[in-house]
């Protein structure tokens, strides 16, 4: 075991240090075409053509939607693969089958066997990871793979698949340097996953961008559906482990008390999207009991971490990796609904964000603990503190996320709430 662990570490060192990785270094790693991924997959025998796929893009909600759908398909008896990014703790979180991480030995062998190919093509970290996932899913003979885009859609490395169904969750401002400075331009990029003749579901009907999607779908003769037109999902209550919803389809109740292993009042949109996706997958036999089981046992079945995750009680400690305007807006609303004496907010972000817009969304009444995420892109905590202070957010800077969290927990009373967020990389250090 020690040997495979060392080999696995060496493989990751190669992937992280030899190849440009957007999550770590930012813009320099972004590739603006699909040439490399096509070359890689062709050399591997185009593994992505050997299994059915479902493609998911969108600014927020991709992870929840993908994991929910994966969990339901698993519950219906299908061997279900899930490709997501980035990861929290372990690289293999990106490549899962029925909630199990890819084997370390597969990662080691894939890197070792294809180093010559990498030297020839010079792909990015993300391109190699996508090709690796496709190769693993073929090797393991999965029934279906849910593939989440990394950034955008049209030029994302995942966009060489021909899926059974495309899903676009929603559109908000994020990665404007690549996707454009208007919601319509971002929608056009994400709408690039819409394929000729392949049904597409839009999770959230937004007046600013719905015509963009309808136009692309019409040009590509792709049947388009808006999830909210069919489903109304109403939050009822929640406990520490589940939320409960009433679900209406075309105005008629179909679930009076749907139990979902997720938290956050924004999840109703993702639930509606998944239910609409199930409607559009008639070739899969998905009974009602699989929907109930998949939703109820989401985290156990799909290895779902880092999203509205409770870490402890008294004081209540919650983390979530929302990081853009829409995501943080939803977090702010969800935090406001929790009864507490005082909110303590451990916050960090990356150095290529438009901070002004994001910081204006954060609650003024919180006590802040600013920290730098442990990656090269992490924004210096002192600089973050200064910018936040000018906008009325009060708090101290800390040398690391763990130190900031320790200070927050020490200061918090038993009826206070400690929240950790601002970046997936901040959350990765506490889950």
For residues 266 and 153, the model is more confident at 153
The residue with greater pLDDT, 346 or 238, is 346
Question: What confidence tier does 239 reach under pLDDT thresholds 50, 70, 90?
Answer: confident
Tokens in use for 109? 């062998």
Question: 37-47 b/e with 16+ CB inside 10 Å = b?
Answer: bbbbbeebeeb
Highest mean pLDDT among 141-150, 166-175, 321-330: 141-150
Using left for φ > 0, alpha for ψ between -120 and 50, and beta otherwise, residue 248 falls in beta
Three-state DSSP string of 29-53: HCCCCCHHHHHHHHHCCCHHHCCEE
Asked if pLDDT for residue 102 goes beyond 60, the answer is yes
Predicted confidence at residue 18, as pLDDT, reads 66
Residue 12 clears pLDDT 70, i.e. is over it: yes
CA 71 to chain CA mean position, Å: 15
- Helices assigned H by DSSP within 140-200: 176-179, 183-190
Q: Are strands 316-319 and 309-312 parallel, antiparallel or unpaired?
A: antiparallel
Quick one: DSSP state of residue 103? P
Give dist(CA 66, CA 324) in Å, integer.
Answer: 19
In this predicted structure, which of 176-180, 296-300, 329-333 has the lowest mean pLDDT? 176-180
Mean pLDDT of the chain: 91
The closest of 264, 281, 279, 297 to 421, measured between CA atoms, is 264
pTM: 0.87
φ/ψ of residue 369, rounded to 5: -130, 95
Residue 32 is predicted with a pLDDT of 67
pLDDT at 266: 74
Pick the CATH number of 2-302 from 3.40.50.150, 3.40.1190.10, 3.40.190.10, 3.40.50.1110: 3.40.1190.10
Query: Using an 8 Å Cβ cutoff, are 308 and 320 in contact?
Result: yes
**Rounded Cα distance, 197 and 210, in Å:** 19
The pLDDT of residue 258 is above 70: yes
pLDDT tens-digit readout, 206-232: 888 899 999 999 999 999 999 999 999
State how far the Cα of 184 lies from the Cα of 325, in Å rounded to an integer.
16
184: its two tokens: 């319509």
Residue 28, CA distances (Å) to 22, 122, 148, 162 in order? 7, 14, 22, 28
In the chain, CATH 3.90.190.20 sits at: 309-428
> Is the pLDDT at 323 greater than 80, yes or no?
no
* Amino acid 23: pLDDT: 47
Q: Which of 23-32, 90-99, 391-400 has the lowest mean pLDDT?
A: 23-32
Percentage, residues of the chain above pLDDT 90: 70
Residue 47 has pLDDT above 60, yes or no: yes
pLDDT tens by residue, 324-369: 777 788 888 888 888 899 999 999 998 877 788 889 989 999 999 9
Instruction: Assign a CATH topology to domain 309-428.
Output: 3.90.190
Could you tell me where in the chain the CATH 3.40.1190.10 domains are found? 2-302
Q: Which of 150, 173, 161 shows the shortest CA–CA distance to 57? A: 150
* pLDDT value at residue 21: 53
């Amino acid at each position: 075991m020690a040997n495979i662990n060392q080999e696995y570490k060496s493989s990751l060192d190669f992937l992280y240090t030899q190849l440009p990785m957007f999550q770590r270094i930012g813009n320099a790693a972004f590739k603006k075409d699909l040439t490399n991924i096509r070359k890689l997959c062709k050399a591997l025998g185009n593994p992505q053509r050997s299994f059915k796929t479902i493609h998911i893009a969108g600014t927020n909600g991709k992870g929840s939607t993908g994991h929910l759908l994966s969990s339901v398909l698993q519950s219906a008896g299908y061997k279900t693969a899930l490709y997501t990014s980035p990861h929290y703790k372990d690289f293999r979180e990106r490549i899962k089958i029925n909630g199990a991480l890819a084997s370390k030995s597969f990662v080691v062998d894939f890197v070792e066997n294809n180093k010559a190919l990498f030297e020839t093509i010079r792909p990015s970290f993300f391109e190699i990871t996508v090709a690796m996932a496709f190769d693993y899913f073929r090797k393991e003979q999965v029934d279906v793979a849910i593939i989440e885009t990394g950034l955008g859609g049209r030029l994302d490395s995942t966009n060489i698949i021909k899926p059974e169904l495309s899903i676009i969750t929603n559109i908000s401002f994020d990665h404007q340097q690549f996707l454009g400075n208007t919601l319509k331009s971002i929608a056009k990029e994400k709408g690039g996953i819409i394929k000729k003749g392949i049904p597409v579901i839009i999770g959230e009907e937004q007046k600013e961008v719905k015509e963009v999607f309808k136009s692309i779908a019409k040009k590509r003769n792709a049947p388009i559906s808006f999830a909210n037109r069919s489903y109304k999902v109403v939050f009822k209550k929640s406990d520490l482990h589940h939320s409960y919803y009433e679900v209406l389809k075309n105005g008629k109740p179909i679930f009076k008390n749907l139990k979902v292993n997720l938290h956050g009042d924004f999840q109703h949109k993702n639930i509606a999207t998944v239910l609409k996706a199930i409607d559009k997958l008639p070739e899969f036999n998905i009974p009602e009991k699989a929907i109930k089981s998949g939703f109820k046992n989401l985290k156990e079945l799909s290895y779902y971490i880092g999203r509205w995750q409770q870490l402890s009680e008294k004081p209540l400690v919650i983390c979530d990796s929302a990081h853009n305007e829409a995501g943080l807006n939803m977090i702010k609303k969800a935090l406001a609904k929790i009864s507490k004496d005082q909110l303590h907010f451990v916050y960090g972000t990356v150095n290529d964000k438009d901070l002004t817009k994001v910081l204006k969304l954060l609650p003024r009444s919180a006590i802040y603990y600013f920290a730098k995420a442990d990656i090269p892109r992490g924004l210096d905590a002192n600089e973050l503190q200064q910018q936040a202070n000018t906008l009325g957010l009060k708090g101290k800077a800390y040398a690391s996320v763990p130190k900031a969290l320790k200070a927050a927990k020490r200061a918090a009373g038993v009826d206070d709430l400690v929240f950790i967020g601002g970046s997936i990389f901040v959350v990765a250090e506490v889950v």
